[in-house]
Amino acid sequence: MSTIKDKDLAAFMEAVIARNPGEPEFHQAVQEVAMDIVPYIKDNKRMQEMRILERMTEPDRIVSFRVVWQDDAGKIQVNRGYRVQQNNAIGPYKGGIRFHPTVTQSVLKFLAFEQVFKNSLTGLPLGGGKGGADFDPKGKSDAEIMRFCQAFMTELSKYIGQFTDVPAGDIGVGGREVGYMFGQFKRLKDTFEGVLTGKGIEFGGSRIRPEATGYGVVYMMEAMLDRIGEKLDGKVCLVSGSGNVAQFCAEKLLDLGAKVVSMSDSSGTVYKEDGLSRDDLQWIMDLKNERGGRLSEAEKGIGAKFYKGNRPWALPGELAFPCATQNEIEEADARALVKTGCRGISEGANMPSTPEAIDIIREAGIMHAPSKAANAGGVAVSGLEMSQNSLRMSWSREEVDEHLKKIILNIHTQCVDKGGCDHDVNRIDYFKGANIAGFDKVANAMLAYGAV
Ligand SMILES: NC(=O)C1=CN([C@@H]2O[C@H](COP(=O)(O)OP(=O)(O)OC[C@H]3O[C@@H](n4cnc5c(N)ncnc54)[C@H](O)[C@@H]3O)[C@@H](O)[C@H]2O)C=CC1
Ligand SMILES: O=C(O)CCC(=O)C(=O)O
């Protein structure tokens, strides 16, 4: 991690690392927040005495459980499932479920910690949590996915509920998996309640939830550009990833007249200098959502260049939208973005930039919206799904999209209000703004509750 100059911050991080050994992703997420919050609360005696930041870095609880399921060959498979219930000061725990072989307690703790600040920024009554399993959905049949989801929910159902903890999707968990898990919860509990979001429209899902994260990432970039008197129209955009967030980020960029020149997966990056067409994007969506294929097929499929094993960041572009996974912009990638003249970054993936990359991007004066602000559209529409479930109502696409835009604009305003730079009045530090604004609401609620 990057070197810490502030003595209080160094002491704080030393204690966090000692209490949470072997959890580098969690340390990184905490440091990204503590860099701004430790100085912010330096003169606030009450926050210090009540040890608010220390309490926020300790999850309320973590459950970890065995998930046993049978594969198509009849073999018994064993995975490990988790739910990290980080903080419910301002609402029920809320956050996605990730199925990916790289899932560990450290990864889920970083995601749950981030989620607390993100959910606070939405202005909705949502606490923070995250869950998942080290299950690899790649290459599994539909029946295997169903059996795994049912086995996972059989255990998870003991810890969640519409007023307690409301999970949703994340990497490896989309509408199909949410459907299987919701069905299993309903069967086990015999209640029909909004215990998950990202549900199908037929059983209580919200319109625009599948699109919300990607759309929100673009609305955030629009707001940042608008502040400096510019538009998205005609801008050359680098998108990474090709899953849910990347697909709808690319779709909204095309809607707004931008040129999307790249998308990627773990096998490499596709590049089209003249920009992907709607048909190209549809081809990528079908490849990923229907055929489970690799982007290397795009050379033949849509006549794009394919750079095996590469990320998109060294390609020429004006704006960047990392929408794949954590730490996908490392130091060298950040240098490449600076070199090619990138002017703005809106983070779709959670914590896609390493601390070293953030320092380089900040130094270069590139506008940089952190994930907790930029990708909050997904959980925001999940919050709206919860509202619709409580009201026994279903809103139109237009209504939900309007709420989503307002929420993202409000997050942008909060970042601007709290993210001023002492050394340059025209610059906004969106990381600082998001950290402080997200922290304030949760911290004040915790203060109101006393020492609990
Ligand atoms: N789905 C949602 O509503 C939200 C997702 N996010 C974040 O967005 C990111 C993408 O999630 P989804 O699109 O939902 O997942 P998905 O399951 O639909 O797609 C997976 C994505 O992850 C990428 N990926 C995973 N491991 C990779 C690796 N090692 N190298 C390169 N790419 C890799 C894939 O290319 C693909 O773009 C994650 O960081 C997730 O936490 C954040 C907020 C909400
Ligand atoms: O919609 C949700 O509750 C999950 C969103 C999520 O996991 C995230 O924001 O990273």
Residue 45 designated active-site:
no
State the pLDDT confidence band at 441, using cuts at 50, 70 and 90.
very high
Residues 250 and 356 in one domain: yes
Cβ < 6 Å from ligand 2: which residues? Answer: 94-96, 115, 118, 168, 170, 197, 350, 375, 378-379, 382
**Bridging pattern class, strands 319-321 and 344-346:** parallel
Residue nearest to atom 43 of ligand 1 (CA): 375
Inside any domain, residue 34: yes
Q: Which pLDDT belongs to residue 422?
A: 81
**For 153-168, what is the mean pLDDT?**
98
What is the pLDDT averaged over residues 318-345? 98
Boundaries of domain holding 16: 7-56
pLDDT in tens, 127-145: 999 999 999 999 999 999 9
What pLDDT sits at residue 3? 62
In the prediction, which pLDDT does 425 show? 81
Phi-psi region of 204 (alpha: psi -120 to 50; beta: other; left: phi over 0): left
Residue 198 in domain: no
- Is residue 403 a part of any domain in this protein? no
- Residue labelled with tokens 């996908």: 328
Q: Does the model's ipTM exceed the 0.95 cut?
A: yes
Nearest 5 degrees, angle CA 81-CA 136-CA 356?
Answer: 85
pLDDT band at 339 (very low <50, low <70, confident <90, very high): very high
pLDDT tens profile 204-215: 999 999 999 999
Residue found by looking up tokens 């604004």 in the block: 437
In this structure, are 260 and 321 located in the same domain? yes
Pocket flag, ligand 1, residue 197 (CB < 6 Å) = no
Amino acid, single-letter form, for residue 171: I
Read off the tokens for 426: 């025209």
Given a cut of 60, whether residue 1 has pLDDT beyond it is: no
Q: What is the mean pLDDT of residues 386-413?
A: 98
User: Do residues 160 and 216 both lie within one domain?
Assistant: no
Assess whether pLDDT exceeds 80 at residue 4.
no
Q: Are both 168 and 304 inside the same structural domain?
A: no
Q: Domain count of the chain?
A: 3
According to the model, what pLDDT value does residue 389 have? 98
The residue whose CA is least distant from atom 10 of ligand 1 is 324
With a 6 A CB cut-off, is 244 part of the ligand 1 pocket?
Answer: yes
CB 407 within 8 A of CB 206: no
- Which atom of ligand 2 has the smallest separation from the CA of 126? 3
259 and 232 co-located in one domain: yes
Q: Is the pLDDT of residue 304 over 60?
A: yes
Cα–ligand 1 centroid distance for 44 (angstroms): 38
Which region holds residue 330: left if phi is over 0, alpha if psi is between -120 and 50, else beta? beta
Domain presence at residue 197: no
Give 323: exposed, middle or buried? Use CB within 10 Å, 0-12, 13-18, 19+. buried
Given 109, 118, 130, 199, which residue is catalytic?
A: 130
Residue 2: the pLDDT is 59
Residue 419: the pLDDT is 97
Question: Is 127 inside any structural domain?
Answer: yes
